[in-house]
């Protein structure tokens, strides 16, 4: 049975979901071998290309992932696009089990007129650009305008706003919006009326956040704070109960010059609460529009079921519905919400379910060739994967380039240059 032999497992995607699933499998099975396939030349997914540069402590999870990658029962194969260079069916033939952990690489469209104008970007692309994602390195957003509008108020929206407001020399430090040097908040106290009474009902982390906002919006600043605000060259604010209707073009029609927002009000109670337009609109001039209303997963391969509405692979606790031996974890399993620890918990569940199925004899019996078969397919197609030790060479190069300019690292942005550095 597969019990005595080496279970050959592969994971698609090397973000937190891929690495935490691998960690669980290696820890709880003494012989399992895990291959991780990644489309980028470099590992770690959104930990490298999403998490903001002023949150360096979040990136410490990379140390744990590196320990996993160093296991002699784990191998990293970068530069392999699953669905293009190798199909999911080919992986299923080569392995006892396949785990899809390929995240959410698209963005939710605004679906309003003017969205295509220069000056309008998805937060996903903007974050990719400031984090050195190769496909976004030529985004070149024009930052010379006075006002940027960020649509959405989630964590990613706040990251984007903070990065726009922060002078580059402060980006090594963690500072929260309200204390951000050289900035002043514009918060309308009317937006916060009645909040005091409702704060008691909300869960703790959100409660602290609401208290902070309430204080900033309604309390008179202290002398030092007032002086700091008075001299601040930059300002930020939060607007509630507004829904984007149209990106307004400049007079020559060639770029974004503003945004039309519908004023809304809340109707209904509890879960049924909806924001409905009052009929009033508001125009806000701006030179940059960043839509931060969510990431979205893509279908990877026609052989894998996909729910286009929820943007996830339909699954039960990580077992892909109707496809034995196929599993999923992370954002492609749950949808694009939740931090790294949420992703860790759900990846451990997927790992556990897979090992249960293995134990119960639900996975194919007999040996499987694993990477040997996939390597042959890839080389016949002219695809040359990179290894984890290749990544460590690139990592050392980035760190050494960073030392020259006083940064933790200077990221390599050009895949051709990376391959050259690896002697390819
Ligand atoms: P990803 O991290 O997206 O990993 C998916 C991997 O799959 C990627 O490496 C991708 O290249 C690869 N892949 C995609 N398609 C293919 C394919 N066809 N073939 C092979 N490989 C493929 N969480 C925190 O805890 N703290 C933070 O400060 C924080 N900041 C964030 C900031 C932003 C802007 C974003 C978007 C998220 C942030 N998060 C943060 C959340 C955190 O990044 C996610 O919870 C986590 O990355 C999800 O993990 P994942 O592995 O599912 O997806």
What are the residue numbers of the active site?
Answer: 55, 159, 340-341
- Where are the extended beta strands (E) located within 256-367? 256-267, 274-285, 288-291, 295-296, 315-316, 319-320, 326-328
Determine if ligand 1 sits within 6 Å of the CB of residue 14: yes
State the chain's mean pLDDT as an integer. Answer: 92
- Of 272, 280, 273, 274, nearest in space to 245 by CA: 280
- Where are the extended beta strands (E) located within 162-255? 183-186, 234-237, 242-249
pLDDT score of 3 more than 50: no
pLDDT tens digits for 383-418? 999 999 999 999 999 999 999 888 889 999 999 999
Rounded distance from Cα 278 to ligand 1 centre (Å) = 37
Determine if ligand 1 sits within 6 Å of the CB of residue 17: yes
Give the number of the atom of ligand 1 that is nearest the alpha carbon of residue 330: 52
pLDDT for position 297:
96
**Residue 149 phi, psi dihedral angles, 5° rounding:** -110, 125
Determine if ligand 1 sits within 6 Å of the CB of residue 163: no
Determine if ligand 1 sits within 6 Å of the CB of residue 346: no
pLDDT score of 261 more than 80: yes
pLDDT tens digits for 95-110? 999 999 999 999 999 9
Is 1 in a helix, a strand, or coil?
coil
pLDDT-above-70 percentage for the chain:
96
pLDDT score of 324 more than 80: yes
Rounded distance from Cα 339 to ligand 1 centre (Å) = 9
Helix axes 61-69, 16-28, angle to 10 degrees: 50
pLDDT for position 14:
98
Q: Tokens 């959100």 correspond to what residue?
A: 206
**Who contacts 206 (Cβ-Cβ below 8 Å, separation ≥6)?**
none
Determine if ligand 1 sits within 6 Å of the CB of residue 88: no
pLDDT tens digits for 168-202? 666 546 346 677 788 888 888 888 877 777 788 88
Mutate to test the pocket of ligand 1, among 10, 12, 13 (most ligand atoms within 8 A of CB): 13
Count of all residues that appear for the chain in the document = 424
pLDDT tens digits for 280-322? 999 999 999 999 999 999 999 999 999 999 999 999 999 999 9
pTM over 0.80: yes
């Amino acid at each position: 049975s597969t019990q005595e032999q080496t279970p050959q497992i592969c994971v698609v995607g090397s973000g937190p979901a891929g690495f935490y699933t691998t960690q669980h499998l290696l820890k709880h099975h003494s012989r399992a071998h895990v291959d991780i396939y990644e489309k980028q030349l470099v590992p770690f997914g959104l930990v490298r290309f999403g998490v903001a540069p002023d949150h360096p402590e979040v990136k410490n999870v990379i140390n744990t992932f590196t320990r996993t990658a160093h296991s002699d029962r784990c191998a990293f194969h970068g530069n392999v696009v699953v669905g293009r260079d190798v199909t999911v069916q080919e992986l299923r033939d080569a392995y006892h089990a396949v785990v899809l952990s390929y995240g959410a690489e698209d963005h939710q469209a605004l679906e309003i007129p003017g969205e295509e104008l220069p000056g309008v970007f998805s937060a996903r692309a903007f974050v990719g650009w400031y984090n050195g994602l190769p496909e976004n390195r030529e985004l070149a957003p024009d930052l010379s305008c006075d006002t940027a509008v960020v649509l959405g108020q989630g964590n990613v929206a706040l990251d984007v706003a903070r990065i726009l407001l922060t002078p580059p020399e402060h980006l090594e430090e963690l500072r929260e919006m309200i204390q951000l040097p050289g900035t002043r908040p514009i918060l309308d106290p009317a937006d916060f009326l009645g909040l005091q009474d409702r704060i008691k009902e909300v869960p703790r982390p959100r409660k602290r956040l609401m208290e902070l906002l309430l204080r900033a919006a309604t309390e008179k600043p202290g002398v030092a704070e007032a002086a700091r605000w008075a001299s601040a060259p930059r300002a930020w604010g939060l607007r509630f109960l507004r829904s984007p209707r149209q990106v307004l073009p400049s007079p020559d029609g060639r770029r974004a010059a503003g945004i039309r927002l519908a004023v809304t009000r809340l109707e209904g109670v509890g879960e049924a609460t909806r924001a409905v337009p009052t009929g009033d609109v508001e125009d806000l001039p701006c030179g940059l529009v960043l839509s931060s209303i969510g990431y979205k997963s893509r279908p990877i391969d026609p052989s894998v079921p996909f729910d286009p509405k929820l943007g996830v692979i339909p699954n039960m606790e990580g077992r892909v519905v109707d496809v034995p031996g196929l599993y999923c974890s992370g954002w492609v399993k749950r949808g694009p919400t939740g931090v790294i620890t949420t992703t860790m918990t759900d990846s451990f569940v997927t790992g556990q379910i897979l090992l249960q199925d293995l134990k119960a004899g639900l996975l194919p019996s007999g040996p499987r060739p694993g990477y040997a078969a996939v390597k042959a397919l890839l080389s016949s197609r002219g695809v040359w994967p990179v290894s984890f030790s290749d990544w460590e060479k690139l990592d050392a190069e980035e760190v050494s380039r960073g030392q020259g300019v006083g940064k933790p690292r200077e990221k390599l942005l050009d895949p051709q240059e990376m391959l050259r550095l690896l002697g390819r």
